[in-house]
Structure formats: C-alpha cells, structure tokens
C-alpha cells in the first residue's frame, strides 16, 4: 500500500530529520480513497515513490562581498499525464520532505482538474526578508543555474509559491533562456505580463477558491450576509479571497498574517484592512475614507486563536499542518476550505469528520493557481493571449465542473469531500498509467 513510502522518504532527507514524514502523512489520504476505486498494482507502485528528487547547493555573492551557500530542492513526483508542474517556495523551514509532499499533492491536483501535467515542487532554505532585492535576484538565477537540466517547458515547469512572485519568475525564465540560448517562456508560469504572463494569474488561486465556495455553500443553504468567515493567512491568496468574499456579502470577522491577527465580531472592512497592510506591512482593524483610516473596535488574536473561533467558515490560507490532532477538537467552524497546501493533518481529518465538520481539500479549493498556470503555458506555446474576462470564464467553467464532479462522487459513495477528490484524481492517474500496460496486460498477451 501507499504507506510503504514513509521509510524511504524520511531517509532521503538526512539533513532535516523530522519525527513524522509529511509525505507519509499526506499519502494516508489515498488509503481511504483506494476503498472506492479499482486501480492496478502497477499504478499503486508508481505512486509510492517520487520519480526524481534533486538537491542543489547555490552559491550567492552577498552585497557585502561574502559568499553564502543556500540549499535548494526540486522534486518531480509523477509525469505520467504530462510535464511536472509546481511552484518554488522560499522559506527558512523548507525541507526535502515538505517539497516531496507538495509535489505529491500537485500530482493529484492536476489530475483532479484534468490538466495535462504531473506534479512537481521546488524550494530553497532561506528567509528572503533577510536578503536585499539584488541578493534575491542572484539567488533566483543561481537556483536555475543548478536545476536547468532538470526543468523545461516539456519536462518540469516552475511557478510562484510562498515568498516568490512574478518578478522572481521573470528572473528565472530569463536565466533559463540565457542558458538555453533561446527565449523559453513556457518553462515558468506566473511571470509578469510583459514577459509572457497571463491575465488573472496573480489572483487565480483566490479566484478559483471563490468559485468553489460559491458553488458549495448554497448546497448547505448558507446565505452570504449571514455567514461569518475567518481567514488564516493574509498574503496574496488569503487577502484577495477575503476581498472577493467581502464584496459578495460575506461577513469576514477575522484575518491574520505571520505576526498575528485581528477579530471583530461585527465584521471587518477588508479593502481598508488590505490597504493598511500594503502601506504599513501590519494588520489592523481599520476603516479608511480616502487617505484617512480610523481604528475600529477589535481584538488582537494569535493564529491559533483564529483557528478556533466560533465562525461558520474557516479558511486556512497560510502553511501546512496548522490544524493537527492537538487543536482539531477545539475547531468550531462548520465548513473549512483549504486554500493553503496541507493545512490539516490526516489525524486531524478524522477528528473533524467525527465532529461533522465539512472539509473541502486543497487539491480542489486552491487549484485555480495551477489551472491558470496551465492557461499561461498554453498561451505561451500558441503565441495567442487571452483577456482577463476570457481567463476567468475558462477558470470558472473548470472549477465548477470539477467541484460538481467531486461532490457527485462524495454523494454517491457517502464519503467526505477529500476522499471523493482523491478518488476523482486517482481514477485519471490510474487510467493514464494503465494505458502504458499493466501486469494483467502482459500476462494476457
């Protein structure tokens, strides 16, 4: 079974040992899905191991003249359905285990959305806030120097993730093109528009999540104006989604970033909060009129306190493993939409299910980002670029179709939505792998 991967994955990451492998925990979700789908032993065997993992050292000349060496990773978990696809994150806690877990999730996310991609992911152990912009540029270009033979528009395609953005993606595309001696836009998505990026890519993760929420909550007779929402994570995805929900009439009562959060039972004016965060780099409960902002009544809370608020909808939009067996019993929300990757452990999943809390998984909810990345890749290859309206129409159609298909699987099999999502993606992966021939095929012939 899939859980057999755990020893190999833990052993592979000797420099950053952890008591529990994130990938082993992530793969536990498949055990339940396998009860509701027939899949060949060949496919299970292939999905038990990442196809390729690369660890690199990246020497960077710092502004003060010193040389510092950073560790970077790139993992291609599976490419049966197409080239690997996945972001690159910059974070001091990046590990090979984490990157492999993220690549694993991307494999199923792309299959679930029926995109012609496999799953991949990358990362560098670094706190980018401690580097100058010039140092970040040299680090980004240096990373591509080391992995250039591992990536490509038909092999493995990069994208932004935690603490990376369109500018960094532009540097990476430019460096790869220099190495290959030809302009290669399709090796990276999430680029600036002027370098071949797609309209709507910056907001795609949030926009896709918004479409999912708008489809799901009416099934439970939730009315926006009477629905309270708490969002952990006020970066690009979390802040954009908060504003979309605010304008749709939802009452956003709490938001947080890495430093902590704010809670206002009567609701927050999200555009004002977002404007203040952009100008001051801190979250405050404010209401702004033109350039004047007034503090409104609120309570300062921690990220952990936000997770346990008595709200209708909880949206983890920060990092993985935020809800575990330790705090899952304290969760009071009725519905959880995972905008972050892997914010809920498998052990916490069981607790939440037993409490009757409906969890909508990351591989569906945050798939808007990779979907519009696919659109960007297609546009790069065709040399034909779409308007923002066209991109959002295509994204809406895709997200709604796969949300409805996942919901139907859940209802038919009487299983939770996460299991249904894995059944949906696993079926497509299994079919692609079996098309290359299975044991039964070779015995029969």
Please give the positions annotated as active site.
Answer: 121
Q: Rounded to whole angstroms, how far apart are CA atoms 346 and 352?
A: 10
Which residues does 306 contact at the CB level (< 8 Å), separation at least 6?
A: 230, 232, 254, 255, 256, 261, 263
**Other beta carbons within 10 Å of 131:** 19
Q: Supply the Cα-derived Rg of the chain in whole angstroms.
A: 21
Q: Rounded to whole angstroms, how far apart are CA atoms 90 and 73?
A: 11
Q: Of 121, 111, 137, nearest to 50 (Cα)?
A: 121
Whether 168 and 144 have beta carbons less than 8 Å apart is answered as: no
* Residue whose tokens read 């350039």: 291
Q: Of 237, 236, 232, nearest to 252 (Cα)?
A: 232
Q: Rounded to whole angstroms, how far apart are CA atoms 328 and 305?
A: 12
Handedness of CA 335, 423, 158, 20 (dihedral sign): positive
Q: Rounded to whole angstroms, how far apart are CA atoms 232 and 308?
A: 11
Q: Of 132, 104, 96, 127, nearest to 16 (Cα)?
A: 96
Q: Rounded to whole angstroms, how far apart are CA atoms 29 and 361?
A: 11
Could you give the count of Cα atoms lying within 13 Å of 274 in the half-sphere of its Cβ? Answer: 18
Q: Of 24, 22, 25, 5, nearest to 346 (Cα)?
A: 25
Q: Rounded to whole angstroms, how far apart are CA atoms 169 and 193?
A: 11
Q: Rounded to whole angstroms, how far apart are CA atoms 442 and 245?
A: 53
Q: Rounded to whole angstroms, how far apart are CA atoms 182 and 306?
A: 49
Helices 204-216 and 368-382 sit at what angle, rounded to 10 degrees?
Answer: 130
Task: Map residue 171 onto helix, strand or coil.
Answer: helix
Max CA pair span of the chain = 77
Q: Of 397, 437, 371, 338, nearest to 41 (Cα)?
A: 437
Q: 418 is written with which tokens?
A: 């996460």
Q: Rounded to whole angstroms, how far apart are CA atoms 129 and 123?
A: 15
């Amino acid at each position: 079974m899939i859980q057999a991967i755990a020893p190999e994955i833990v052993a592979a990451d000797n420099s950053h040992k952890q008591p529990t492998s994130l990938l082993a925990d992530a793969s536990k979700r498949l055990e339940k899905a396998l009860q509701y789908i027939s899949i060949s032993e060949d496919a299970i065997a292939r999905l038990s191991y990442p196809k390729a993992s690369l660890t690199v050292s990246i020497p960077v000349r710092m502004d003060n003249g010193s040389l510092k060496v950073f560790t970077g990773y790139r993992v291609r978990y599976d490419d049966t359905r197409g080239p690997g696809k996945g972001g690159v994150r910059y974070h001091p806690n990046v590990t090979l285990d984490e990157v492999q877990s993220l690549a694993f999730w991307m494999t199923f996310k792309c299959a679930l959305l029926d995109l012609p991609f496999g799953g991949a992911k990358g990362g560098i152990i670094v706190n980018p806030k401690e580097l100058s912009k010039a140092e970040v540029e040299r680090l980004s270009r240096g990373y591509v120097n080391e992995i250039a033979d591992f990536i490509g528009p038909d092999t493995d395609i990069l994208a932004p993730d935690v603490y990376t953005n369109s500018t960094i993606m532009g540097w990476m595309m430019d460096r790869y093109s220099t190495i290959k001696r030809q302009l290669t836009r399709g090796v990276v998505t999430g680029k600036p528009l002027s370098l071949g990026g797609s309209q709507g890519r910056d907001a795609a993760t949030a926009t896709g999540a918004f479409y999912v929420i708008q489809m799901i909550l009416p099934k439970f007779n939730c009315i926006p104006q009477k629905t309270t929402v708490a969002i952990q994570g006020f970066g690009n995805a979390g802040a954009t989604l908060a504003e979309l929900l605010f304008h749709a009439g939802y009452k956003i009562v709490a938001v947080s970033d890495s430093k902590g959060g704010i809670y206002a039972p009567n609701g927050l004016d999200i555009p004002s909060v977002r404007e203040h965060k952009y100008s001051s780099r801190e979250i405050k409960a404010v209401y702004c009129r033109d350039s004047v902002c007034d503090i409104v009544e609120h309570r300062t809370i921690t990220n952990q306190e936000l997770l346990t608020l008595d709200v209708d909808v909880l949206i983890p939009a920060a990092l993985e493993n935020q809800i575990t067996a330790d705090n899952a019993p304290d969760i009071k929300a009725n519905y959880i939409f995972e905008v972050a990757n892997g914010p809920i452990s498998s052990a916490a999943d069981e607790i939440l299910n037993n409490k009757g809390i409906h969890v909508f998984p990351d591989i569906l909810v945050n798939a808007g980002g990779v979907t519009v990345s696919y659109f960007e890749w297609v546009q790069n290859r065709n040399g034909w670029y779409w308007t923002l309206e066209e991109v959002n129409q295509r994204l809406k159609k895709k997200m709604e179709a796969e949300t409805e298909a996942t919901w139907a699987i859940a209802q038919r099999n009487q299983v939770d939505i996460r299991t249904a999502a894995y059944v949906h993606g696993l079926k497509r992966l299994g079919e692609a792998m079996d098309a290359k021939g299975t044991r039964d095929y070779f015995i029969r012939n």
